[in-house]
Chain A
């Protein structure tokens, strides 16, 4: 990093006109980007971090959005330009050429009807005078640089034929194709598994050095920032509330919101009774003014830490009981190939010979990369996916062979909370009715008036309000919607709940609130959970015992803390080392390494 400024963002203001009035999505934001550095912008959804990056690209959808003020001074090779002032035609020469962008969703960010090769070559031939053959060669080189296996094959492959990580590599190759000065990465790893995330972060770090670019890295997760950024900008409600070097921010966060973000990540080394949230550090009075609660991150964590003895006592009590659920040699196979007469000739073994027990009141964590079969396992237990053979004994009865009426009875006791709170609620049904529906189906309580009262109670249990009954899902944020889904699962008074990636779609700060809610409910109603997630840190925080799955089989099973502290299998070790830990010592080590390199 030298000290030449590449991009000056001065008093940037981007507003959106919505039905509810003017939204100041980016409000007086100023920062400098130096050549060769990585700036991390962190904040929760709606904080304005993505709008800031789209403003720099001038890609704000207009209407409803507009850059209404400020300057974006880009110090190019020969002269400085204000990107806000130039016309669309000129701006196109910067896009993809000097400033390139990688988006959050690799699954949907590539055009499905063109091959990956075509899409990268298109960017090359657009900005550089290259023949088709030269562009092809360049694309192959790029695919090699982003460490894609078999670049030749990927050149002619369509996006749907690649995995999420591979698609993101193609996106990176596309962004790098014209050696941009600035690379904007908007949550590039949020949709990916931790193991894939680690390799992508590593790749971006390496490439940045190779082409001497600056990176603006946007994320909601401070752990990721710690792995990659030199400086950090913390955004909250369209404003920058704090900025500084990554070491300063982690050593000595000043703003309560930054403290909240740091504290709400599930810590790996310790066991906590609940997670501190942003609300523990700041609150708002009725006029929307912030009230700061003076506490350090350390103090907050000390308050909620559980001693190992307490955990031991809890576990002794748990495991003296008889298991509530016994899964024996369960297999779920899906046909992958059929011959002409419809006879299956090959299978995808999603769940292959899996056995485990779940004890009443415990939380069993189920962790593994996407495609390992953890979701199918959860669904098979509830008979939402067909089992091939094996047994699932719930209180001694085999669920897989139950008659329809008995199964109906059983569904009251076992519920599932799905991954995506956005699509698992019907947009045309008020949330009150959505929660009431399962009660009506199962004939819980005598009439709808009683049920309504119960719904109001449930809404309050999940920290919403009774007057939300008649509102529609779109009026709620992601975290609130997940609470609604939880309330719906609770409506039948279940004893056994499967949480399938229930917090994966949420910001870290919101995730902490939902996890705390699940823990409170467990204490209050003695729930038994199977908690499924790809994120080992979340699973470890929630679970008493943990099952690590790989390719449909159980890789390792045992006490959550023990597995984390001394993983036996290489796969588990890989999962653990891939978690962005955000430990101060790691950041210091990285800073020291960087200094040593720039010094030499």
Chain B
């Protein structure tokens, strides 16, 4: 099992390295001058040149890439100085001569061109909001999806089954930014007097006294909008999976033992039928974390996706690159987790490397 996890981590690392290469060179062929962006339109040539030197933009791309890798790596080499220590926040391990040290640090993603905040700080403030939204959306989607899926399966071909199926096809067909806008319009605007919900809103809002307060109700509409497509998928997956398991020989065996209908259904059928659904849920959770860009933007919910789109609009590449790498790492971790989960849920799958 440990060998299995190590192998997965190694291959995950390789994938991440690929993403780094791709991200770096993609953002370096775009004809935008970061130095100009940092300093603004009215800066003089000399100070733009200075920033360019500071960002290392005067060096060839390969050298810049190596610097970039060095910045990302938790183990890296730097020439020790108070400014560098401040910039990277490292702790020195040992000297490698001429003032250079091997240091340990959290990956350095650069700073925002806009407000010169550290990218990692921006991401870390935004991330919990996105994770909270993701967890709520996926929990909501799983409960509703599995429930409807089971109902549809045990009432196969009934009116209820057909209605659930048709609705779920509608749910799959609509993109989340569409349902997001419609939901916001209906429940956040037209019916706002009854629902008390806001058209848009962040997790923390300023109240009349200028204090930041937690506004949990602002999670409701984005979570539903994000959950609609996964619900539809879970419904169909659960339905076909339960139907498949219901026709298995071991379900007949359970009935032949004299077990009641509900024991058979909940113990013998669901335990088998939910395996594929649970893996789908984990996969969708990763997608939601990475894919709530539109929804966050529509609802003005200041999570990872919101920050990324804002950054894209203003060519704020360090934030975009950092966010892409961040999401890629999340994806890889969730996938490793799903692989392990597979083995735990189904005793037939062994976690041997």
Contacts and interface: CB of A to CB of B under 8 A. Distances in A.
Please determine whether chains A and B interact with each other in the same assembly: yes
B62 interface: no
Interface string A87-102: 0000011111100110
Contacts, number: 73
Contact of A340 (B248, B252, B259, B353): B353
- Most-contacted residue by chain A among B254, B258, B348 (CB, 10 A): B258
B158 to A, nearest CB: 12
A108 interface: yes
Interface in B248-295: 248-250, 252-260, 268, 271-272, 275
B188 to A, nearest CB: 44
A113 B346 contact: yes
Given A59-B255, A95-B255, A113 B249 contact: no
Interface in B87-110: none
Interface residues of A, number: 29
A95 B257 contact: yes
B107 to A, nearest CB: 27
A250 interface: no
Given A109-B253, A111-B272, A112-B347, A94 B3 contact: no
Given A103-B249, A108-B248, A108-B250, A113 B347 contact: yes
Given A103-B252, A113-B271, A340-B353, A158 B347 contact: yes
A112 B249 CA distance: 11
Contacts of B272: 111-113
Interface stretch (A119-127, A229-237, A522-530): A119-127
- Most-contacted residue by chain B among A92, A100, A158 (CB, 10 A): A92
A186 to B, nearest CB: 10
A114 B275 CA distance: 14
A335 to B, nearest CB: 12
Contact of B256 (A95, A112, A158): A95
Nearest to A160: B348
B253 A112 contact: no
B256 A96 contact: yes
A338 interface: yes
Contacts of B260: 92
B248 A57 contact: no
Interface in A159-193: 160, 171, 174
Contacts of A95: 255-258
Nearest to A108: B249
Interface in B7-37: 7
B348 A122 contact: no
A59 B253 contact: no
Contacts of A97: 258
Interface in A124-157: 126-127
A94 B249 contact: no
Interface in B66-100: none
B252 A93 contact: no
A109 B254 CA distance: 9
A491 interface: no
Contact of A59 (B256, B345, B347): B256
- Most-contacted residue by chain B among A105, A111, A122 (CB, 10 A): A111
B257 A96 contact: yes
A111 B347 contact: no
B285 to A, nearest CB: 23
Nearest to B250: A111
A109 B271 CA distance: 16
Given A103-B249, A109-B249, A111-B268, A57 B256 contact: yes
Contacts of B252: 59, 103, 109
Interface residues on B, range: 20 to 34
Contacts of A160: 347-348
B257 A174 contact: yes
A110 interface: yes
A131 to B, nearest CB: 19
A244 B166 CA distance: 57
A340 B353 CA distance: 7
A598 B130 CA distance: 79
A103 B253 contact: yes
Nearest to B248: A108
A123 B257 contact: yes
B253 A340 contact: no
B99 to A, nearest CB: 40
Nearest to B346: A113
Given A112-B346, A113-B347, A105 B249 contact: yes
Nearest to A105: B249
Contacts of B7: 340
- Most-contacted residue by chain A among B249, B257, B272, B347 (CB, 10 A): B257
A126 B257 contact: yes
A100 B348 CA distance: 28
A94 B258 contact: yes
A105 B252 CA distance: 11
Contacts of A340: 3, 6-7, 353
Given A160-B348, A338-B353, A340-B3, A110 B250 contact: yes
Contacts of B347: 112-113, 158, 160
B343 to A, nearest CB: 12
A103 B6 CA distance: 43
Contacts of A57: 256
Contacts of B248: 108
Nearest to B245: A111
A548 B268 CA distance: 42
Nearest to A100: B256
Contact of A126 (B250, B259, B271): B259
A450 B248 CA distance: 44
Contacts of A103: 249, 252-253, 256
A268 to B, nearest CB: 33
Interface string B327-345: 0000000000000000001
A103 B253 CA distance: 8
A114 B345 CA distance: 11
Given A96-B258, A103-B249, A126-B257, A112 B353 contact: no
Interface in B25-53: none
B78 to A, nearest CB: 34
A101 B348 contact: no
A16 to B, nearest CB: 16
A198 to B, nearest CB: 24
Contacts of A92: 258-260
A158 B271 CA distance: 14
B250 A109 contact: yes
B3 A122 contact: no
A126 B258 contact: yes
Interface in A331-375: 338, 340
Contacts of B255: 59, 95
Contacts of B345: 113
- Most-contacted residue by chain B among A57, A109, A158 (CB, 10 A): A109
A113 B256 CA distance: 18
Nearest to B247: A61
A126 B6 CA distance: 44
A94 B6 CA distance: 52
A171 B255 CA distance: 14
A113 to B, nearest CB: 5
Contacts of A174: 253, 257
6 contacts: A95-B257, A103-B253, A110-B250, A111-B271, A114-B268, A171-B253
Interface of B: 3, 6-7, 248-250, 252-260, 268, 271-272, 275, 345-348, 353
Given A59-B255, A96-B258, A122-B259, 20 more contacts: A59-B256, A95-B255, A95-B256, A95-B258, A96-B256, A96-B257, A96-B259, A97-B258, A109-B252, A109-B253, A111-B250, A111-B268, A113-B275, A123-B257, A158-B347, A174-B253, A174-B257, A338-B353, A340-B6, A340-B353
Interface of A: 57, 59, 92-97, 100-101, 103, 105, 108-114, 122-123, 126-127, 158, 160, 171, 174, 338, 340
Top 10 A-B pairs, shortest CB-CB distance:
A95-B258, A96-B258, A96-B257, A108-B249, A111-B250, A158-B347, A109-B249, A123-B257, A92-B258, A101-B256
